[in-house]
Structure 1
Amino acid sequence: MKKDIHPAYFDATITCACGNVIKTRSTVKDIKVEVCSACHSFFTGQQKLVDVAGRVEKFQRKYGKKSTPSAVAAPKKKSEKAK
């Protein structure tokens, strides 16, 4: 390996917002993350919905089921006259 071209490699501490601390090695000493394997729903098996500024409600209003039954139109009948 060439000298003086590689970054310094430290013992790193990864700190999650949930309080979990992971020790590893990296070029950065301290890393702060919002989600880790201890609190991510994929690893825990629990679904946790994070709603930022009502985005879920906005999506449901835009694409949710229509409350009125008239939203589904009945198919038109063919005209009785044949041309």
Structure 2
Amino acid sequence: MKSEGHPNYHYIKVVLTDGSEFYTRSTYGEEGSTLNLDIDPKTHPAWTGGSQHLLDRGGRLTRFNSRFGNLGIGAKK
């Protein structure tokens, strides 16, 4: 049986963008390494609710709505 089949889990420090930190087990780096995040749940729009509008790049959304907008999918009956 292989003894090297599992990754080496160890404790690291994770530093969020606001400077807060926590310790977790990870395969990142070595024991005691620090992982500095550029994006985290406190600042990213996907978690904060910002920028939830759809961008119409190249008119694709407009073309889709003109072709299939009359189907009424999701409309209240």
Q: TM-score band, normalised by the shorter chain?
A: 0.3 to 0.5
Mark the structure with the bigger radius of gyration: 1
Greater helix share, 1 or 2? Answer: 2
Normalising to structure 1: TM-score of the pair?
Answer: 0.41
TM-score scaled by length of structure 2: 0.43
Greater RCO structure (CA 8 Å; 6+ sep): 2
